[in-house]
Amino acid sequence: MDAVAENKQDHSGKSQFIVIRLDNEQYGIDVRFVENIVRMQRITRVPKMPKYLVGIINLRGEVLPVMSLRIKMGLEKDVYEKKTRIIVLKTQTEGNLGVIVDEVREVVTLEDAQVDKIDDLKLEGKTFVSGVGKRENGDLISLLDLGVITLEENA
Amino acid sequence: MDVSQYLDMFLDETKEHLQNLSDQIMRLEENPEDADTINEIFRAAHTLKGMAGTMGFTRMQTLTHDMENVFSEVRSGKLKVQSQIIDVFFNCLDALDDYVQNIQNTSDEGTDDHEDLIKRLNDCLPKEGQAVMPGTPYKKEQPAQPSVPEVKQEESQETNKWDEIELDEAIWAAIDEARADGDECYGLNIVIQEKCLLKAARAFLVLRTVGEKGEIIASSPSTQDIEDEKFDRDFTLIVISNLSLEEMIKAASNISEIEKVTGGVFLRPGERSASKASKPEAEPIKEEQSSKEQPAKGQEQPAKEEALQRSIPSAEAMEGTATTQAPSEADAKEKKSVSTGKHLGNKTIRVDIEKLDELMNLVSELIIAKNSIVAATQSGQMAAKSIVKDNIEYLERVTTNLHEAVMKARMVPIETVTNKFPRMIRDIAKKLDKKMELYISGEDTELDRTVVDELGDPLMHLLRNCADHGLETEEVRMKRGKNPVGSIFLNASQVGNSVVIEVRDDGNGIDVDAIRRKAVERGTITQEQSETMSEKELIDLLFLPSFSTAKQVTDVSGRGVGLDVVKSKIESLSGEVEVKSKLGEGSSWTIRLPMTLAIIQTLMVGVGGEKYAIPLGSIQSIETVHFGEIKTVQNKQVINLRGVVLPLVRLYEVLEVEGNRIQEEEMTVVVVKKGDRYAGLMIDELIGQLEIVIKPLGKYSKQCKFISGATILGDGEVALILDANALI
């Protein structure tokens, strides 16, 4: 996890992604949008919120809203386990936002050539993925579109 | 002598004296013969003169000297106080205020001699006084100081600048109405001499002069920006007047240090391009450019762009006026512009020495408590634990008191903003030609300094609203059998942990039907909606941006910018505004503000395993209620508590707490109050009293209106703060 802080981006055709697991799928989150990764902690529910906004936590004395990626993406509700983590994302307009993931695996560096933009893939319906990264070992990583994820829905 | 170190003190005291003078002159107006008042005025003026002289502000000294001369004649009985003298005095005070503002902003009084005022003062003197008093003794001091470096500007560009001002339909309607009445609407562009050092003061004079001849309905930059000197060398006004264009131009150009005044009839964009095309020879190069950039229809964008290119300050102002529909944004900008650039000195606060002593005492108690803990840890193991525990309790008490004392030291009486209102009401009364009286009470109510500073504008808006829309004209009042003199009340009082300020008038009240018609007309709501909306909901429409029921746009109010600003400002201070009104009898605006902002005392309660904090300030009592005591009235559950029927709010339902519930025989109910309304909140358990630090919820707080914030408890858990007001 320290790798996140160490590697600052020098945009030279490469991007770094944090590989996370949700259910059985792997997703990548651009490290430039990640502020911090914290362990799961007690979440205080806030009434009248959209379902995917599960509540708020105390992040070193500041109040941070937390979102369930699973619910947002239409998966089953989170089961909090030992490996569950909250990734603190920097959003440009609204302050930080925590997202719950099942597991944080590693950090990968992908060349631009290794990334297929979603437009080229012709997927149908609503998508939270902006592209797919192909690793040398043949793994595919869905790269999350953070703009869509942090977007407010009128629920 | 270097006097700069005394500048802060000078400013503080001058402001006090000016306020005092203003109060006394108001009193003099009511009691022209009162010797005490005259003496007081004389003393204050004399002190001001002395102070200005010591600090080397000669222009200010000259003006106060001449004022003093007149006061002296009044005191000796040679001169009778008439309303025109009072007017001159007030104008002088305004001029002195300008000096003080300049000194505050630039440590220099500026170059405005206010010759016209001095002349008017001298005209007031009895004839033989003229010989004793030379006209303008310091006149030779007219400065040849270096001119302010200016960005070079092309002269010809000013032509038809007023055409770049965009107006919304409501103002156009007002212009059309004025034209129908035989008045005309002009655009004026005023260019100030390059070497003029105090453009704002000149511009202010122009604004006032033009304002006397007609009504200024729009300007670029905004009048506020003009007065704050946020323009380059020229500014543009749109004026409605019954005078001819030549007379208007002449009036404006009569003010010294004005280089050029151009003017023309102000037309709608469509009519405008036609008339332009008919005389293309007027400005050969510029016209080409602007006609390229301003096609007859979609001219909004280009005009803004051009303004941007021309000069940054006016571009800012254009945006400011253009975005009145987005009040929060405009408001934020306004706030920003106020906070930057002003205040050369630090913000100071005068603290009662007793409050400081109290602070000192508490700090010494803290030290004692600390020492006891240190001693306890050094002594034997057995006793240590209980001593530490004792001292922690002691520390707790001290920190609470310390917090209270610091908060108290930050408190200032609301008087600091209300004391300028009597004068304002007097001016409005004259302008509108209505008779009215302002009664202020509770001005010693204290609020946090930051809150008081922000409160001036909203209160001013409300008072103007009362004076302009609320109160009827004298004849109407007589016809209705009311006192011909209208009354406006401003009451402040402390209720629990909040301060309530009420602005009330005995005027016409709010015409709900007029709002309904207007709202439908403007498309704010549909016809069906208008029929189902309650009176209160309709009145709340007044707080929407750019919604005004005034038929006539006056420069006092009616442009529809105001109430929305009031609301957003009060809400930014975590307060709220409430309106009550009865047609024909008057209306009352109630502002409720928390006394302190960051730390509050709360009662922690448990609802279905979740913890919530209820501010103590809104709690009336805690009751145990039997299941059988719950009654149903109009499908709502209520309890009868010692003769008061209150609605019962089942918190676990409102807060959507999950899980099944067992109906118990006895329940704990927290009774909360908001104004004169009560409600019972049904909770599961009482946890206890806790002092908490409020943390904002950010954007998510808006979605849930009865959560006002969050706090972090001792164990790191987050608890939500219930806004009891929103639950009632």
Smallest CA–CA separation between B696 and chain A, in Å? 7
Residue B284, pLDDT score: 41
Strand A14-22 versus strand A25-30 pairing type: antiparallel
Q: Is A151 on the interface with B (CB under 8 A)?
A: no
Tell me how crowded residue A5 is: count the other CB atoms within 10 A of its CB. 11
Does residue B11 share a domain with residue B80? yes
- At a CB cut-off of 8 Å and minimum separation 6, what does B649 contact? B679, B680, B681, B682, B727
Q: In what order do the strands lie in the sheet with A62-68?
A: A34-39, A85-91, A95-101, A62-68, A53-59
Question: Quick one: CA torsion of B332, B336, B342, B344, rounded to 10 degrees?
Answer: 130
A45 contacts B699? CB cut-off 8 A: no
Q: Is A47 helix (H, G, I), strand (E, B) or coil?
A: coil
Give the span between the Cα atoms of B710 and B162, in whole angstroms: 50
Asked whether the predicted pLDDT for residue B345 surpasses 80, the reply is no
Does residue B572 share a domain with residue B426? yes
Peptide bond into B484 cis (omega under 30): no
- pLDDT tens sequence across A19-31: 999 888 889 999 9
Which residue in B has a C-alpha nearest to residue A45's C-alpha? B610
Does residue B543 share a domain with residue B645? no
Q: Which residues of B touch A94 (CB under 8 A)?
A: 698-699
Does residue B193 share a domain with residue B164? yes
Give the span between the Cα atoms of B601 and B399, in whole angstroms: 13
Confidence of residue A136 (pLDDT cuts 50, 70, 90): confident
Give the span between the Cα atoms of B179 and B182, in whole angstroms: 5
Closest CB from B696, B704, B717 relative to A46: B704
Residue A53 in tokens? 């906004």
- At a CB cut-off of 8 Å and minimum separation 6, what does B256 contact? B115, B202
Confidence of residue B58 (pLDDT cuts 50, 70, 90): confident
Asked whether the predicted pLDDT for residue B313 surpasses 50, the reply is no
Q: Which residues of A touch B610 (CB under 8 A)?
A: 44-45
DSSP per-residue letters across B652-673: HHHTT--S--PPPSEEEEEEEE
Domain boundary among B545, B575, B594: B594
Asked whether the predicted pLDDT for residue B292 surpasses 50, the reply is no
Closest CA to B88 of B123, B133, B60, B45: B123
Poorest-confidence range of A105-114, A128-137, B134-143, B661-670?
B134-143
- At a CB cut-off of 8 Å and minimum separation 6, what does B259 contact? B191, B192, B193, B194, B233
Q: What is the CATH number of the domain that holds B263?
A: 3.30.70.1110
B700 contacts A56? CB cut-off 8 A: yes
- pLDDT tens sequence across B364-415: 888 888 888 888 777 766 667 777 888 888 888 888 788 778 877 777 888 8
Q: Is A139 on the interface with B (CB under 8 A)?
A: no
Q: Which residues of A touch B704 (CB under 8 A)?
A: 46-49
Does residue B302 share a domain with residue B182? yes
Cβ(B258)–Cβ(B192) below 8 Å:
yes
Q: Is A45 on the interface with B (CB under 8 A)?
A: yes
Give the span between the Cα atoms of A108 and A132, in whole angstroms: 13
Give the span between the Cα atoms of B184 and B176, in whole angstroms: 9
- Greatest CA separation found in chain A? 45
Helix H or strand E segment including B208: helix B199-213
Smallest CA–CA separation between B274 and chain A, in Å? 45
Q: Which residues of B touch A44 (CB under 8 A)?
A: 610, 710, 717-720
Residue B612, pLDDT score: 92
Q: Which residues of B touch A46 (CB under 8 A)?
A: 697, 700, 704, 707, 720
Q: What is the CATH number of the domain that holds B722?
A: 2.40.50.180
Cβ-in-10-Å burial (0-12, 13-18, 19+) of A79 comes to exposed
Does residue B437 share a domain with residue B560? yes
Percent of chain B whose predicted confidence (pLDDT) is above 70? 77
- At a CB cut-off of 8 Å and minimum separation 6, what does A130 contact? A117, A118, A143, A144, A145, A147, A148
A58 contacts B716? CB cut-off 8 A: yes
Does residue B649 share a domain with residue B583? no
Amino acid in the structure at residue B130: Q
B697 contacts A62? CB cut-off 8 A: no
Give the span between the Cα atoms of A19 and A2, in whole angstroms: 14
Confidence of residue A86 (pLDDT cuts 50, 70, 90): very high
Poorest-confidence range of B64-78, B141-155, B166-180?
B141-155
Judge whether B470 lies within some domain: yes
Asked whether the predicted pLDDT for residue B320 surpasses 50, the reply is no
More confident residue, B464 or B557: B464
Which residue in A has a C-alpha nearest to residue B693's C-alpha? A61
- 8-state DSSP, B114: -
Residue B653, pLDDT score: 83
Does residue B420 share a domain with residue B404? no
Q: Is A40 on the interface with B (CB under 8 A)?
A: no
To 5 degrees, how large is the angle CA B621–CA B623–CA B626?
Answer: 160
Asked whether the predicted pLDDT for residue B670 surpasses 50, the reply is yes
Provide the number of structural domains found in chain B.
Answer: 5
Does residue B79 share a domain with residue B20? yes
Closest CA to A69 of A18, A4, A117, A137: A18
Give the span between the Cα atoms of B218 and B317, in whole angstroms: 11
The CA distances from residue B726 to A44, A65, B112, B573, B614, in Å, are: 21, 22, 53, 16, 12
A56 contacts B710? CB cut-off 8 A: yes
Does residue B607 share a domain with residue B584? no
Judge whether B327 lies within some domain: no
Task: Tell me the Ramachandran region of residue B562: left when phi exceeds 0, alpha when psi lies from -120 to 50, beta otherwise.
Answer: left
Residue A53, pLDDT score: 86
Count of helix runs (H) and strand runs (E) in chain A: 4, 11
Give the span between the Cα atoms of B414 and B419, in whole angstroms: 9
Residue B318, pLDDT score: 41
**Residues of B marked as catalytic:** 46, 68, 465
Q: Is A39 on the interface with B (CB under 8 A)?
A: no
Judge whether B114 lies within some domain: yes
> Length of chain A in residues, anyone?
155
Task: Tell me the Ramachandran region of residue B56: left when phi exceeds 0, alpha when psi lies from -120 to 50, beta otherwise.
Answer: left
**On the CB side of B167, how many CA atoms lie within 13 Å of its CA?**
25
Domain boundary among B383, B411, B439: B411
Mean pLDDT of B529-555: 69
Range of the domain at B183: 155-322
A47 contacts B655? CB cut-off 8 A: yes
Does residue B566 share a domain with residue B646? no
Q: Is A106 on the interface with B (CB under 8 A)?
A: no
Give the span between the Cα atoms of B620 and B680, in whole angstroms: 10
Asked whether the predicted pLDDT for residue B496 surpasses 50, the reply is yes
Closest CB from B699, B704, B718 relative to A44: B718
Instruction: Work out the mean pLDDT of chain B and round it to a whole number.
Output: 74
Asked whether the predicted pLDDT for residue B613 surpasses 90, the reply is yes
Alpha helices in B411-511 (DSSP H): 415-418, 421-432, 449-465, 474-479
Amino acid in the structure at residue B349: I
Domain boundary among B539, B571, B594: B594
Poorest-confidence range of B157-161, B437-441, B484-488?
B157-161
pTM for the model stands at 0.45
Residue B598, pLDDT score: 64
Sign of the Cα torsion B557, B559, B562, B563 reads positive
Poorest-confidence range of A96-100, A116-120, B204-208, B540-544?
A116-120
Mean pLDDT of B554-575: 66
**On the CB side of B173, how many CA atoms lie within 13 Å of its CA?**
11
A49 contacts B704? CB cut-off 8 A: yes
Poorest-confidence range of B288-292, B345-349, B568-572?
B288-292
Strand B576-582 versus strand B586-594 pairing type: antiparallel
Does residue B489 share a domain with residue B373? no
Q: What is the fold, at CATH topology level, of the domain defined by A2-150?
A: OB fold (Dihydrolipoamide Acetyltransferase, E2P) (2.40.50)
- pLDDT tens sequence across B235-247: 888 888 887 788 7
Confidence of residue A4 (pLDDT cuts 50, 70, 90): very low
